Amino acid sequence: MRVIATSQISLITPFLRQLVLLPSCPSLAFIPPLSHSRFLQTSQSKVAAPSSSTITSSTTSINLSSTTIPSITETIAAAHTIQTLLSKELIKPPKVRNAQTSHDLLGNLHSIALALLKYNDITSTKRAVELFRYSLDNFYEDVGVRERLSAALRSLGRLDESARELFRVIDTLECTGGVNDSILCMLYLDLGALIDESMPLPGAGYEILDPILNEDDAPKFVFDREVDGGGAVSLSCFDCYRKAVCLDPECGLAHKKLADILDVIRKHDEALGEFEVAARSMPEDICCATHLHFASRTESSGPGAVKHAIPLTGDATVEKTLGEISSDAKKLLNTESLADLARKFEMNGVLVFPKLLSEKDVDVLSKKVLDIISLASRDDDCEVADLTDETKAANQRIHMALPLSDDEQYTTVISSVMSRLHPLLTSILQCNDSGRIPLIGSGFMQTSPGAKAQDLHKDVHHWDRHGPFDDIPSSWGYSLDGSPRCISIQLQLTDTTIGGEMGSLQVLPGSHRPDTKNGSPSVIARAVKDTSTQNGVIPLTVLPGTVTMYSSRLWHCGGANDSDTDRRFCFFTVTEDTTERAPPGLIHTMQMNDIGKWCVTKHGLAKS
C-alpha cells in the first residue's frame, strides 16, 4: 500500500463541486467549501481540474457547464474515451509522459464521474464508481474523490463498501493532520449512520435479538487501517457519535444522533440529556422539541396501566390483498363492527377505508398542500418545517409539516376525519376515560415523477407491547415498558390506481408484531430485498379520498413514481394517551408551535 504524503491529499476543487448535488447522500454536505478548510491551507492541492468545461474527443463532445444535461449515453461514451486516453498515458515511460496532459484528462474524468451521478440512475452511478476507483488505483490518493466514491456506493445500497471507503477518508485525514475538527465530526456522523444502517441495533431492524442495555454490546464494524502502520479498528455507531461529540461539543446534530440511539437501547434519561444539549444548538429542531415535550409531561400511566396489544386467536391469518384489508367506512359508526375492525387491525397492522373523504375535502387539503409547496419554492424563509432531508429516498420527494389552526377550512376537514376514526383509535390504543389521544405528527408528502422506491422500513423502533408469547421469551423485550403504540393515518389526495406507477404506499401486513407469519425476520428480510406481492407486500393503489391507518411499526415503503404526475398525501401520527416518551426512530413531523398542543377526541381535533 502506498504511503500517502500530506501534500498529495486534497479536497475536491470548487469547479467539480458545482457540477453535482446528491441530496440522498448526506456525506456530500459534510465537507465544507474549500475556503473554509484549514486543511487545504497547509497542503498542496493535486486534484486535477479540467482545463475546459467542454470535453472533446474524436468520438464525442459534451459541455458539462451547459444548462442542458448531456444524455447518459453521451456521458458514458466520453468517460470511456477519457479513460482510454489516460490509460495510454499511464503505459508511457515516465520521461515521455506529459504531466499536464494527464492532469487535464484526470480532471475531465472526475468531472464526468460527478456528472454521471446527476442522472440518479443505477447504471450511471455504477459507472461513476468505476471511474472514481480507476482514479484512486492508478493515480494519487485523494480524500475528496474517495469521499465521493463512498457517497456513490451508499446511493447504490452498498453500505459496507461505502463505510470502508469513508473510514479510509477519516483515517487518512487523522493521520496526516491539518483538517479541522468540525469536518471530522461530520464525517464521523456519516460513518455512524452507515454503521447504524448496515448493522441496526436490536429493536431497530427486523432481527429478533435480545435487547441490549449497554452501548458496549452494540454491533461493531471492523475496519482495516491502511495508513500509519495499519491494524484493525472496531467501531459501533455509538463509538462514531461519541467521537463526533468529542470533536465538536457544540455540534447539535452530534448530540441528537447520540440521543436517538441511546433511546433505542432504553437509556432514556441519558438520551434526554443529549436532546437538551442538541436543542440548545438547534432550537428549531422538531425532533428534539418533541422528545423534550413528552419528557416534561406530568401525566403518569400509574401502576398496572401498561397497555399490551390485543392477543391474537389461534386461527388468525394475515390478509393478502388490498380488498381484504379494506373496509367500508360505515363500519366506523357501528359498535359491533368496531370490535371486528380492531381485531383486523391487530392482525394486519393496517386498515384501508376507501372514499372516507369527499371530493370537496380532497380539494381543500390539496389546495393547502400546494399553497405550502408554492410558498416554500419561492421563499427561502418559509416558516413551515421542512423534513425532506430526513426522508428515505429523499430525491424527488417533499416532506413538510402541515400546520394546524383553529379556524382554517383544511383543519376542519382533518378534524372531521379524526372524529370518525376516534372510536376505532380508542379501541386499538386502549385509551382512558378522557378519550384524548395525543397527536404527535401532522404533515404531508409529495412524490414527484422520477422518485425511486423507498426501502421497506418501519417508522418507529422496537415492537408494540405484546406478550409474553408461548414461543417467545419475555426477555426479548416485547413486553417491556418504553414501547408506546403509535398509529399513522394517511389521507390520499391523488388517484394512484393508474397503472400502479405513482409510487403508492406498499405494506407488509402483520409485520408489526412477532407472533404473525409476516412478523418473522426471514419473511421481512425477503420483503426488504424484493417488495413484490409474492413476498406478501401489498401496493395500496387507491382512489383520492382513501384513508389508511397503519401501525407505525408496520414494515412499509413508498413506491417509485414512474408516472408523469405528482402523488400527494397528508399524514398524521397518534400515540397512547399516557405516553411519557416520544417514540424512538420516528421523524417527528410537526410545526414547532403545534408540538404537544393537539389531541384527537370524539369531536375531532382539540387543543390539549
- Cβ neighbour number for residue 302 with a 10 Å cutoff: 9
Is residue 31 very low, low, confident or very high in pLDDT (cuts 50, 70, 90)?
very low
- Cβ neighbour number for residue 232 with a 10 Å cutoff: 8
CA distance 134 to 459: 39
Cell output for 207: 432481527
Domain boundaries, the chain: 325-377+386-607
CA distance 560 to 454: 7
Calculated CA dihedral for residues 169, 170, 174, 175, nearest 10 degrees: -40
At 229 the pLDDT is: 74
Q: Which of 38-42, 138-142, 499-503, 569-573 has the lowest mean pLDDT?
A: 38-42
Is residue 527 very low, low, confident or very high in pLDDT (cuts 50, 70, 90)?
very high
Q: Which helix (H) or strand (E) holds 607?
A: strand 604-607
User: What is the amino acid identity at position 136?
Assistant: L
Cell output for 62: 459534451
What tens digit of pLDDT does each residue of 115-133 get?
898 888 889 999 999 999 9
Residue 240 contacts residue 195 (beta carbons within 8 Å): yes
- The answer, yes or no, to whether residue 3 has pLDDT greater than 60, is no
The HSE-up count of residue 429 (CA atoms within 13 Å, CB side) is 34
At 22 the pLDDT is: 26
Q: Which of 196-205, 305-314, 336-345 has the lowest mean pLDDT?
A: 305-314
CA distance 18 to 221: 33
Cell output for 204: 431497530
Residues 450-453: contacts with CB under 8 Å, at least 24 apart: 450/120, 450/395, 450/396, 450/561, 451/393, 451/395, 451/396, 451/397, 451/503, 451/558, 451/560, 451/561, 452/120, 452/393, 452/395, 452/396, 452/560, 453/393, 453/503, 453/531, 453/557, 453/558, 453/559, 453/560
Of residues 494 and 314, more confidently modeled: 494
Residue 599 contacts residue 404 (beta carbons within 8 Å): no
- The answer, yes or no, to whether residue 300 has pLDDT greater than 50, is no
Packing angle, helices 252-264 and 268-281, rounded to 10: 160
Q: What does pTM read for this prediction?
A: 0.85
Residue 569 contacts residue 493 (beta carbons within 8 Å): yes
- The answer, yes or no, to whether residue 480 has pLDDT greater than 70, is no
Residue 605 contacts residue 439 (beta carbons within 8 Å): yes
> Average pLDDT, stretch 469-494?
71
| 297 class by beta-carbon count within 10 Å (0-12 exposed, 13-18 middle, 19+ buried) | middle
> Average pLDDT, stretch 356-361?
97
- Looking at residue 457, the DSSP 8-state letter turns out to be B
- Cβ neighbour number for residue 485 with a 10 Å cutoff: 24
Q: How far is CA 427 from CA 139, 331, 606, in A?
A: 65, 14, 19
Residue 485 contacts residue 269 (beta carbons within 8 Å): no
User: What is the amino acid identity at position 240?
Assistant: C
Is residue 21 very low, low, confident or very high in pLDDT (cuts 50, 70, 90)?
very low
At 518 the pLDDT is: 92
At 208 the pLDDT is: 79
Residue 408 contacts residue 367 (beta carbons within 8 Å): no
Cell output for 540: 395500496
DSSP string covering 399-446, please? EEE----SS-HHHHHHHHHHHHHHHHHHHHHT--TT--EEEEEEEEEE
Farthest CA pair distance, the chain? 89
Is residue 307 very low, low, confident or very high in pLDDT (cuts 50, 70, 90)?
low
At 530 the pLDDT is: 94
Residue 584 contacts residue 266 (beta carbons within 8 Å): no
- Looking at residue 478, the DSSP 8-state letter turns out to be T
Of residues 573 and 500, more confidently modeled: 573
| 90 class by beta-carbon count within 10 Å (0-12 exposed, 13-18 middle, 19+ buried) | exposed
- The answer, yes or no, to whether residue 5 has pLDDT greater than 60, is no
- Cβ neighbour number for residue 575 with a 10 Å cutoff: 23
- Cβ neighbour number for residue 551 with a 10 Å cutoff: 28
Helix (H, G, I), strand (E, B) or coil at 316: coil
At 473 the pLDDT is: 57
β-pairing, 598-601 vs 604-607, is: antiparallel
Tell me which of 2.60.120.620, 3.20.20.70, 2.60.40.10, 1.10.287.130 is the CATH number of domain 325-377+386-607: 2.60.120.620
User: What is the amino acid identity at position 594?
Assistant: D
- Looking at residue 36, the DSSP 8-state letter turns out to be G
- The answer, yes or no, to whether residue 350 has pLDDT greater than 60, is yes
At 63 the pLDDT is: 53
At 574 the pLDDT is: 96
At 97 the pLDDT is: 80
Q: Which of 69-78, 146-155, 296-305 has the lowest mean pLDDT?
A: 296-305
What tens digit of pLDDT does each residue of 253-278 get?
999 999 999 999 989 999 999 999 99
Residue 544 contacts residue 459 (beta carbons within 8 Å): no
Of residues 532 and 32, more confidently modeled: 532
Q: Which of 215-219, 367-371, 397-401, 580-584 has the lowest mean pLDDT?
A: 580-584
Q: What sign does the dihedral 241-247-251-255 (CA atoms) show? A: positive
CA distance 408 to 28: 40
Residue 76 contacts residue 127 (beta carbons within 8 Å): yes
CA distance 226 to 339: 62
- The answer, yes or no, to whether residue 206 has pLDDT greater than 50, is yes
Percentage of the chain surpassing pLDDT 70? 82
- The answer, yes or no, to whether residue 318 has pLDDT greater than 80, is yes
Cell output for 203: 429493536
| Closest alpha carbon to 429 in 351, 342, 509, 512 | 342
Residue 513 contacts residue 310 (beta carbons within 8 Å): no
The contacts of residue 386 (CB under 8 Å, 6+ apart) are 376, 398, 399, 400, 401
At 588 the pLDDT is: 94
CA distance 39 to 27: 18
User: What is the amino acid identity at position 237?
Assistant: C
Cell output for 315: 386461527
Residue 358 contacts residue 545 (beta carbons within 8 Å): yes
Q: Which of 106-110, 163-167, 523-527 has the lowest mean pLDDT?
A: 106-110
- CA angle 295/456/153 to nearest 5° reads 100
What tens digit of pLDDT does each residue of 38-52 get?
232 223 234 444 444
What's the mean per-residue pLDDT of the chain?
83
> Average pLDDT, stretch 394-410?
92
